[in-house]
Structure 1
Amino acid sequence: MKSAERPLDIVSTKRPPFSYGAGSPLPHGVHLHKGGVNFALFSRHAVKVWLLLFEDINAVEPFQVIELDPRQHKTGDMWHIVVEGAGRGLVYAYRVDGPVAPERGHRFDSRRILIDPYATALTSPPHWDFMGFSANQDHSPDWRQPALVKGLVTANGFDWEDDRPLYHPWSDLVIYETHVRGLTIHPSSGTKLAGSYLGVIDKIPYLKQLGITAVEFMPLQEFNPHETTLVNPETGQRLSNYWGYNTIGFFAPYEGYGTRLYPGCQVDEFKTMVKALHKAGIEVLLDVVFNHTAEGDETGPTLSFRGLDNSIYYILEEDKRRYKNYSGCGNTINCNHPVVRNFILDCLRYWVVEMHVDGFRFDLASILGRDRNGNLIPNPPLLEQIAEDPILRDVKLIAEAWDAGGAYLVGRFPGERWSEWNGLYRDDVRRYWRGDAGLAGAFASRLCGSADIYEHSGKAPINSINFVTCHDGFTLNDLVSYTHKHNLANGENNRDGSDGNFSANYGVEGPTDDAHINRLRLRQMKNFMATLLVSRGVPMILGGDEFCRTQHGNNNAYCQDNAISWFDWSLADQNQEFLEFVRDMIAFRRRHPVLTSERFYKPEDVSWFNPAGWMPDWHTESAIGCHIHAAETGERQLCLLSNPLPHAVSFLLPHAPGGCRWTKKVDTSAGQPFDVCQPGHGLPLHHESSLLVRDRSLVVLVAERG
């Protein structure tokens, strides 16, 4: 018999088939149940569902295909079955048939092999570009396809010991944004488990010494790393989905960050990583992508949701054939459909309860506030449910408060519990230190927690996640080394990535041997980092910035799984001065709780002045001073002097409180050990009424008893 003529449900016969029963419609997904495994799958418009069972993770053909009988295997919109005698390690997938009617939003295709949206682990070949599709005349799957991604039954038997959520106050957070693979995959990382969850554990002492209290991991829910067809024109090598912002398995930790020692080990190894981070006092935050999926637009692959119930899971255009695209990635998840809302809530609860995650950063979170037609709505039910959910009540919620559809909601994101990536902080601080005119007022607001953005909506400084750099854009080193992006290696002719970087190269584009330029670049990096760490709000550091990691001017390295993106740990030795500066500034912040207060400064707490000692003209002046009286705590007073100008400026100093004198503790223009002085050290200003602040530098004075 020719392969094209094989029966619809051809199976392997290596093992005897399982017996099965009706099963239960809840809970969703797969669960061990009384000596078997219960499967429950949502599909409102399906007319047929097949459960495919495979011998092992390498099997291409299923050894058993069970067609679910709606009379006993369907309750409402839930298809369910219990497979007797099955257990952990069972490999499975689905096929689903239903209307082929794009004009009504239905895109069922019984030839497609579908991933369970609730699968807690996936098993995939090295290249999973093909999903069991064929053009056979009988519309059967073609099992000869070389790749097949399947679900894996897991069990909750991990020994968490006494692990509990850390519940760090927002005021104690210093967030480190990083990439699981990129953190340790470079040969310089010194770990035998490079690029893995377990490899992260080897860097915990480093993170602890740096002063990090929370790690924010870029997406690690299952995605297809090989989905891009772009090629690096410089090397001819095919590019990859390195960042992972194209999720397909929302409950499943990415298999590629596991050691593959046994099927599903990625689940246990993720938990092992979380437990180790918690023991070190470091919280775990996940970057989650609930705004779109890896299925793309109408020309994209059918992997899961599209083949299960396209019209439910996605926001469609009026003609129902095309997808509304508020994500910039081809489709938009229908987040405020009740079924999809429950899916997202179930997913978040799973990561908190079973995986012990401490919080989430929601990518393009404004999409979570759009209704089924794509319109922004007041008090979006999903956002309110996440904030008020009893299980999620104490986890940290961070929104990227914008989307690709123009919904920029920084300062206006719904809900008091939601903190936000403060994009205005990034832009204003960059422009101020670059020397742009008229930025003093905005800079002052950012230092004080961005009350102009958040106070009107009843929020506080801790709702502002302050950052100068993040994964999306230049690294800190590149911010002061490149005026223009250099993204040719991405294969898009330098069209991708933002053009609004507010960067400067100070005379030479890229690396230089010019000592003067390199000193200026170092000073500017110190200015950015010092500003971040003396600002009220929650500081977030891009991983590797503390030792001057470079992407060689690439500001959109989403597809670069190579040295462009990887952490070269030899830079930590080469740039030890800056690394120690960052470490010391984090410690300085911790020694002065006035900088981390969870409320805005009151008028009596802060006095602003220009170099002459008068109230600044916020529209024309750039060099400004800030006297922090710290009235709320009675702690030592601070004086910040910032000069973004290309020449030195002399500041008339405010009077130190009675019995105290000003001591210079931070000076970004100085070298070690005077850039950040240790406790008990510093340059005392005995009788000086003024202080010369060098060009492009920041000075912090502390009032100490003489």
Structure 2
Amino acid sequence: MNEKTDYYDGRDLGCNYSRTESIFKLWAPDAVKVTLALYQDAGSYNAHGEVTVHTDGLEIGMKNWKAGVWFLRFYGDLAGRYYMYKIEGPDGSIRYVTDPYSKGVSANGARSAVVDLQYWSPPGWEGEKRPPLEGLQDTVLYELHVRDFSADPESGFEYHGKFKAFTETGLRDKEGNKVGIDHLQELGVTHVHLLPVFDFKTVNELLVDDPDSTEPKYNWGYDPQHFNVPEGSYATDPQIPGVRILEFKEMIMALHRKGIRVIMDVVYNHTFGVEDGPFEAIVPGYFYRRDAQGRLTNGSGVGNEMATERPMVRKYILDSVRYWAEEYHIDGFRFDLMGLIDTETIIQIARELHSEVDPSIVIYGEPWTGGDTPLQQQTLKGSQMNKGFAVFNDHFRGAIKGDSDGGGKGFATGQPEMEAAILEGVKGAVHDFTASPLETINYVTVHDNLNLWDKVLTTQGLRNEAGFEEIRNGELTNGGSLEEAVKHSEPYRSVDRDYLMKSESVKRAILANGIVLTSQGIPMIQAGDELLRTKYGDHNSYRSGDLVNAIRWENKRRFKPVFDYYRGLIELRKTHPAFRMTSKEQIEKHLEVLRCQDNTVAYMLKDFANDDVWKNIVVIYNANNHVIKMELPFSKTGWKIAVNEEQAGNKALDFLVDEQVSVPELSMMVLFEEVGGVPRPTKRVEVQYERPDGKYDGWNLWVWGTGLREQRVDFERIENGRAVASFIVPAYVKRIGYIVRLNDWEEKDVDQDCFIELGHSQSAISVLIRSGSDDWKKIS
């Protein structure tokens, strides 16, 4: 096979259906002969849900057309029929395979299906549009598994574990709290990131709704089988190929109508199997990476990795994501183990989707691998710079929480000296690995590893108190009943319901995601964080079933103040563009660090950052087990508190009478300064500084005092041979300290601290300071 000669650039591989004809195209450049096998039905399934006999179809030879593509035009309406390709190789082998470009499949993906996509679209689909989004900076991601969303038997859903559960509106708990899709809208997230929803291998779709079956009913879905078909176990009838298509589209439409976009978690770095996978039998040796000895490489950790750098593999991925974006109106893609996908492929995906489909499509992924790979151009942190896609920020993740599965701590969970790393993440990693804050996905936990609540309990040494047992592969490692273990666990034992927001575990969890939601970049939270979701200590629940994974909607009623806090933080972020800056230059201009030490990070988003209506915003994170006092910049109109230890939102909860605030232990605070408020009484202080040599370059004032935080004040001008500076202080300030210094403490004019007495009544005062003197002279 010659890769250049055999590259096919058409976007019409697979079955192209119309009511008058269907055109089949398969890229199989090494095949000696390819035959289309047509079937009236899905075939005979064995006890394992597999169809192993495919010789019962109508077989029609295909034409070896061009560039390695085999072609067949079939006249007539084939909707509802099934098909496979019979591949005869140069070694005499004969294999029946499904179409890697299948748009529809039978149950368990046993056979490809011819589907009329228009017929299986809900009413109004053609005119269905994405919800408005001004820019990527407005994104708030919510990572969710389809089945987890509605599996709770007490939740009130009709369609447990199905796509259609997202179409159920008006659901309420017994206290009237919103459940399901109404909850998502109330929370305020802009995008739901769905764990894999393409057809995957490890759930038997025929038995998923059979309560008596012991076959696996649950998986996260990182075991791809058919990349371009929705997963059948999430459909109400997986045996009718069009049903999963219709119900998937209904889900998308329902979320869009609620103003929520949809991200697909895609897994193009590996397949479930190789010999029984979607590619190897068609083009042997092409779709997978191998080492010098011809052995499959294992950068994915599951036995194989796709050779994305090869032209027709890259094309397959490009065709696939574009198909989902156009046919299913998908709004973005999260790439699993993106480190295994060559950077050029990701760049081309971003370029094509943004220029030819929709510039608002979000593209991001995991910038790492699951093991060693021979791929040279790995898509790691930094490779995304100015390329139109984002990557997960594991530096920030670790700084906030510590390690992923153990008791290792971070800033929010009790580890000191993490302030600098937190501040780096707050700035959108623009001094770490990004060219723009739009290139970092900020998060604490996702589906992998311990979820947030369980991680907090682990760092506090509360796993035994909570009754958590070790779970592996959906079973207790010490034997026994998982159901009994879950039933007898007490994950909220440390929480006093009457003092919910004073619980140390609750405060640490809220602080962790509070940092994420107020930082520059694209924030992501895991489904259920706002309900203090637990997975009973299971750090890898990919096959642990509904018992462990289902979202318990009763927790909204139990922990409503926590939900309200999350909702308030999201509302604050969405309302104020200062939290959504788009460039490194903006951040360097408008983000001023106030404190970064002693388990405290405080900063100011100043001077109407990103055209915010608030003039200045101060954000404080206190990771100490005690109250801290924080000096604030002077405000002519005073500081108002929008977020404290118990409430969060977009409106003033309290008003400060001076420039000092107490921040409770293990909490965050957001304060703001408005324009147009009633001015507070102030004094203007003018300082004239005189040097005999007349050289003022680099000299400045360092000032402090009651109501005035320590700060640098630069000289504004030279007048009458003197350098002149001025600043405002509250009217009640009677005395301020100062030092005249060169640059950043290169030299001091005099060694000792100096003080200016302001008196009681003046609205303005002007003083003269002469070089070499610790005294000052009042001028007016």
Structure 1 length as normaliser, TM-score? 0.79
1:489-638 alignment to 2 at 5 Å?
489-490=472-473, 510-513=491-494, 515=496, 519-600=503-584, 601-610=586-595, 616=596, 621-632=598-609, 633=611, 635-636=613-614, 637-638=616-617
Residue 199 to residue 62, structure 1, CA distance change in 2 (3 Å): farther
Residue in structure 1 matched with residue 302 of structure 2 by the alignment: 329
Residue 640 to residue 80, structure 1, CA distance change in 2 (3 Å): same
Residue in structure 1 matched with residue 347 of structure 2 by the alignment: 384
Residue 265 to residue 381, structure 1, CA distance change in 2 (3 Å): same
Residue in structure 1 matched with residue 17 of structure 2 by the alignment: 32
After TM superposition, give the deviation of residue 408 of structure 1 in Å: 7.4
1:653-672 alignment to 2 at 5 Å?
653-656=632-635, 658=636, 660-668=637-645, 670=646
Residue in structure 2 matched with residue 17 of structure 1 by the alignment: none
- Aligned equivalents of 1:412, 1:667: Cα separation in 2: 38
1:150-165 alignment to 2 at 5 Å?
150-157=112-119, 158=121, 159-165=124-130
Deviations 1:236-260 (A, max 9, x none): 9665661001111111111111111
Residue 38 to residue 194, structure 1, CA distance change in 2 (3 Å): same
- Aligned equivalents of 2:576, 2:494: Cα separation in 1: 38
Residue in structure 2 matched with residue 43 of structure 1 by the alignment: 28
- Aligned equivalents of 1:303, 1:631: Cα separation in 2: 55
Residue in structure 1 matched with residue 749 of structure 2 by the alignment: none
Structure 1: runs of 5+ lacking an equivalent: 1-23, 101-107, 129-147, 229-235, 370-379, 496-507, 611-615
- Verify: 1:95 aligned to 2:97, yes or no: no
- Aligned equivalents of 1:343, 1:408: Cα separation in 2: 18
SS of the residue aligned with 2:546? coil
- Verify: 1:419 aligned to 2:390, yes or no: yes
After TM superposition, give the deviation of residue 74 of structure 1 in Å: 4.1
Residue 628 to residue 385, structure 1, CA distance change in 2 (3 Å): closer
Deviations 1:55-101 (A, max 9, x none): 223556564241525xx45434112222332421111122323145x
Answer with 27-36 or 168-177: which moved more.
27-36
Give the one of 334, 338, 352 matched to 1:361.
334
Residue in structure 2 matched with residue 462 of structure 1 by the alignment: 438
> Counterpart amino acid of 1:319?
Q
Q: Answer yes or no: is the 8 Å Cα contact 1:461–1:536 preserved in 2.
A: yes
Q: CA RMSD in A?
A: 2.9
Give the one of 454, 471, 492 matched to 1:488.
471
Give the one of 452, 467, 472 matched to 2:431.
452
Q: Answer yes or no: is the 8 Å Cα contact 2:491–2:534 preserved in 1.
A: no
Q: Answer yes or no: is the 8 Å Cα contact 2:25–2:72 preserved in 1.
A: yes
- Verify: 1:263 aligned to 2:241, yes or no: yes
Residue in structure 2 matched with residue 68 of structure 1 by the alignment: 61
> Counterpart amino acid of 2:277?
L
After TM superposition, give the deviation of residue 188 of structure 1 in Å: 2.6
- Aligned equivalents of 1:25, 1:352: Cα separation in 2: 18
Residue in structure 2 matched with residue 53 of structure 1 by the alignment: 38
Q: Answer yes or no: is the 8 Å Cα contact 1:48–1:67 preserved in 2.
A: no
- Aligned equivalents of 2:131, 2:437: Cα separation in 1: 21
- Aligned equivalents of 1:33, 1:355: Cα separation in 2: 18
Residue in structure 1 matched with residue 415 of structure 2 by the alignment: 436
Q: Answer yes or no: is the 8 Å Cα contact 2:103–2:229 preserved in 1.
A: yes
Q: Answer yes or no: is the 8 Å Cα contact 2:336–2:365 preserved in 1.
A: yes
- Verify: 1:643 aligned to 2:622, yes or no: yes
Residue 492 to residue 570, structure 1, CA distance change in 2 (3 Å): closer
Q: Answer yes or no: is the 8 Å Cα contact 1:239–1:560 preserved in 2.
A: no
- Aligned equivalents of 2:612, 2:472: Cα separation in 1: 54
Deviations 1:337-358 (A, max 9, x none): 1111111111111111111111
Deviations 1:101-136 (A, max 9, x none): xxxxxxx952x54221000111125xx7xxxxxxxx
Looking at CA atoms only, which structure, 1 or 2, has the larger radius of gyration? 2
1:188-267 alignment to 2 at 5 Å?
188-202=154-168, 203-226=180-203, 239=216, 242-260=219-237, 262-267=240-245
Q: Answer yes or no: is the 8 Å Cα contact 1:533–1:539 preserved in 2.
A: yes
Q: Answer yes or no: is the 8 Å Cα contact 1:401–1:408 preserved in 2.
A: yes
- Aligned equivalents of 2:453, 2:492: Cα separation in 1: 10
> Counterpart amino acid of 1:512?
R
Deviations 1:488-534 (A, max 9, x none): 24169879xxxxxxxxxxxx995425649981111112212221211
- Aligned equivalents of 2:439, 2:667: Cα separation in 1: 28
- Aligned equivalents of 2:469, 2:369: Cα separation in 1: 24
Q: Answer yes or no: is the 8 Å Cα contact 1:25–1:40 preserved in 2.
A: no
Deviations 1:281-321 (A, max 9, x none): 2111111111001115xxxx51321211131111112222x
Q: Answer yes or no: is the 8 Å Cα contact 1:25–1:79 preserved in 2.
A: no
Q: Answer yes or no: is the 8 Å Cα contact 2:446–2:526 preserved in 1.
A: yes
After TM superposition, give the deviation of residue 474 of structure 1 in Å: 1.9
- Aligned equivalents of 2:313, 2:307: Cα separation in 1: 7
Specify which structure has the bigger relative contact order, considering alpha-carbon pairs within 8 angstroms and separated by 6 or more residues.
1
SS of the residue aligned with 1:345? helix
Residue in structure 1 matched with residue 362 of structure 2 by the alignment: 396
SS of the residue aligned with 1:309? coil
- Aligned equivalents of 2:420, 2:449: Cα separation in 1: 25
Q: Answer yes or no: is the 8 Å Cα contact 2:578–2:608 preserved in 1.
A: no
> Counterpart amino acid of 2:229?
A
After TM superposition, give the deviation of residue 487 of structure 1 in Å: 4.7
Q: Answer yes or no: is the 8 Å Cα contact 2:472–2:540 preserved in 1.
A: no
What is the total number of aligned residue pairs between the two structures? 599
Deviations 1:163-202 (A, max 9, x none): 1234511122111111112211221332212211111122
Residue 151 to residue 280, structure 1, CA distance change in 2 (3 Å): same
Answer with 531-540 or 647-656: which moved more.
647-656
After TM superposition, give the deviation of residue 647 of structure 1 in Å: 2.2
> Counterpart amino acid of 2:61?
L
After TM superposition, give the deviation of residue 364 of structure 1 in Å: 0.9
Q: Answer yes or no: is the 8 Å Cα contact 1:326–1:405 preserved in 2.
A: yes
Residue in structure 2 matched with residue 12 of structure 1 by the alignment: none
- Aligned equivalents of 2:451, 2:620: Cα separation in 1: 26
> Counterpart amino acid of 2:619?
L
SS of the residue aligned with 1:194? coil
Residue 490 to residue 78, structure 1, CA distance change in 2 (3 Å): same
SS of the residue aligned with 2:130? coil
- Verify: 1:701 aligned to 2:701, yes or no: no
> Counterpart amino acid of 1:576?
K
- Verify: 1:80 aligned to 2:61, yes or no: no
SS of the residue aligned with 1:188? coil
How high is the sequence identity, in percent, across the aligned residues? 26
- Aligned equivalents of 1:329, 1:227: Cα separation in 2: 20
- Aligned equivalents of 2:524, 2:552: Cα separation in 1: 20
Answer with 34-43 or 526-535: which moved more.
34-43
- Verify: 1:474 aligned to 2:450, yes or no: yes
Residue in structure 1 matched with residue 277 of structure 2 by the alignment: 303
Structure 2: runs of 5+ lacking an equivalent: 1-8, 45-50, 169-179, 206-212, 373-377, 402-409, 479-488, 679-780
Structure 2 length as normaliser, TM-score? 0.72
Q: Answer yes or no: is the 8 Å Cα contact 1:454–1:460 preserved in 2.
A: no
- Aligned equivalents of 1:182, 1:493: Cα separation in 2: 20
Q: Answer yes or no: is the 8 Å Cα contact 2:139–2:523 preserved in 1.
A: yes
Q: Answer yes or no: is the 8 Å Cα contact 1:43–1:79 preserved in 2.
A: yes
Residue 294 to residue 444, structure 1, CA distance change in 2 (3 Å): same
Q: Answer yes or no: is the 8 Å Cα contact 1:290–1:333 preserved in 2.
A: yes
Deviations 1:200-248 (A, max 9, x none): 12233221111011111111111112499xxxxxxx9665661001111
